[in-house]
A and B are shown apart, each in its own frame.
Chain A
Amino acid sequence: MTTMASSKKEQTKRTFEQSLARLEKIVDSLEQGDVPLENAIALYEEGIELSKECMETLSKAELKIKKLNKNMSNKIELVDSE
């Protein structure tokens, strides 16, 4: 169960692409069928959670646009656009 907890922590740091890759791996592992049942269920739960998170990311509908700007001291900064 500690592995579940730590993998949940990692999920928050994952990019969308990493989450999808993890999902793909989970599906692969489940497909191979050589993981013990308890692990399979834990994997399944992680997978469902991940796919929910990905769906949420996808449903964030607002495109963010920022503009690159150089301030007075010629340092690069981002300013909101539109």
Chain B
Amino acid sequence: MQDPKNIVSVSEITRRIKGVLEMGFSEVWVQGEVSNIKFHTSGHLYFTLKDEGAQLSAVMWRSRVNQLLFRPNDGMKIIVRGNITVYEPRGNYQIDCLQLQPVGVGELQLAFDRLKQKLNAEGLFDEGHKRPLPAYPQRIGIVTSPTGAAIQDMINILRRRFPSVEVILAPVKVQGIGAAEEIAQAINDLNELGKIDVIIVGRGGGSLEDLWAFNEEIVVRAIYNSSTPVVSAVGHEIDFTISDFVADLRAPTPSAAAELVVKDRAEVIDILQNFSYTMQNLINGRVQSEIDRVNSLVGSYSFNRPLDIVCQRSQTVDNLEHRLRLNIVHFQENVRQRIESFLKRVQSVDPQLTLKRGYAMVYRGDAIVPKMSNLATNDRITIRFSDGDAESTVESLQKKK
């Protein structure tokens, strides 16, 4: 008989099972086929995941159903990421789905189209959001597998084309479970690290499933949110991933990405030599033109003008002097004529001439007596004629009537 102390209730054993299962099977990935799918009116999704040998109840809560990128159907092969939980009232265990991922090309293509459409509608691929790459990056971040051929190809090309750069490799898993999260985290980390001029995100070629991480929303959003420009470099030329649409530049291959982010050193050396040559030519030309300018100034009419002006002025002086001489002669002549005419006039008023014409002048002493009224009776006067004087005495005075 069992010791009663070891007997537990149904609830108790169920609780213990729940503890063991939920602790031991959290975050598991399970692949199987969908059957008995029910989209409940509550929004939750119920189905059974099965394979040839077993089946597992599955539930996906409404909040996660809304994030599904495809619509699971009966018969579809999917991979479920989720936690095993125990529903105590029924004694059932089930998987609580966090994420569903279709298996097989058809389903992947479907998921690809859905996500692309959704993100496009959100504007994640807008040209306006795309940034130009720096012409001369100094630090290049590369998010890829550290062991793949892609990283070696990129390093070889960078080393050959423009070795004076620094490569910051963010090593990640590029395929399989968890790859997308690692890639997205690496992009965020490089942005957080800062001082990175451009980021290349990529991997070498592979199947659609191999490249799938680059079609995951988390990667696409990390690229979109990167403040550093991102070049996508996934697979071969024919492979397109959603990362290519959101990236600032799509490179057809990782090697092409390396060629796109750096210029060829030889070309840059050419540019520099061209600059030096042009500057040399320009400065030589400039100096020569200044020399020419000075020379032409020295030889110019203006520069020689001072002498010219002196010559002109001295001519003016000569001219003026000549005119002055002429003027002096004129002046002298003029003066002479005026003196002559004056003399004539002076001569014409000589009292002697008047006396000669029969007039006489009367003096009393030495003074001329111009008027009869100046005289008195018995005044002694001298009457002067042209040929001599007559002394006389005034006898009587008669005023003119």
Identify the A interface with B (CB < 8 A).
Answer: 15-17, 20, 23-24, 26-27, 30-31, 33, 37, 40-41, 44, 47-48, 51, 54-55, 57-68, 70, 76, 78, 81
Contact = CB atoms under 8 A, between A and B. Distances in A.
Interface of B: 134-136, 138, 141, 146, 155, 158-159, 163-171, 186, 189-190, 192-193, 265, 268-269, 271-272, 275-276, 278-279, 282-283, 286-287, 290
A81 to B, nearest CB: 6
A62 B269 CA distance: 17
A23 B275 CA distance: 7
Given A15-B136, A51-B275, A66 B166 contact: yes
A54 to B, nearest CB: 5
A2 B155 CA distance: 43
B146 A31 contact: no
Given A30-B283, A51-B275, A63-B158, A58 B167 contact: no
A58 B265 contact: yes
B171 A41 contact: no
A15 B135 CA distance: 11
A64 B168 CA distance: 9
A62 B282 contact: no
A64 B166 contact: yes
Contacts of B146: 67
Given A57-B164, A58-B268, A65-B167, A27 B135 contact: no
7 contacts: A15-B136, A20-B271, A27-B275, A30-B286, A37-B287, A51-B272, A76-B189
Contacts of B265: 58
A4 B167 CA distance: 34
Given A16-B138, A17-B135, A68-B190, A58 B279 contact: no
Contact of B169 (A33, A59, A60, A66): A66
Given A17-B136, A27-B282, A76-B192, A63 B272 contact: no
A63 B165 contact: yes
Contacts of A57: 164
A63 B136 contact: no
A37 to B, nearest CB: 6
B276 A37 contact: no
A65 B152 CA distance: 12
Contacts of B165: 63-64
Given A15-B138, A67-B169, A76-B189, 8 more contacts: A17-B134, A20-B136, A26-B279, A37-B290, A44-B279, A51-B275, A76-B192, A81-B169
B286 A40 contact: yes
A40 B138 contact: no
Contacts of A81: 169
A54 B190 CA distance: 27
A65 B159 CA distance: 10
Nearest to B161: A63
Nearest to A59: B164
Contacts of A27: 275, 278-279, 282
Contact of A58 (B166, B269, B282): B269
A33 to B, nearest CB: 7
A22 B138 CA distance: 17
B147 to A, nearest CB: 12
A6 to B, nearest CB: 21
A30 B279 contact: yes
A47 to B, nearest CB: 5
A40 B285 CA distance: 11
Given A33-B286, A68-B169, A68-B171, A55 B272 contact: yes
Contacts of B275: 23-24, 27, 47, 51
Contacts of B276: 47-48, 51
A24 B275 CA distance: 7
Contact of B163 (A33, A63, A70): A63
Contacts of B168: 66-68, 78
Contact of A61 (B134, B163, B193, B287): B163
Contacts of A61: 163-164
Nearest to A29: B282
Q: Which 7 A-B pairs have the closest CB atoms?
A: A17-B136, A30-B282, A68-B170, A44-B283, A64-B166, A63-B163, A63-B159
A65 B155 contact: yes
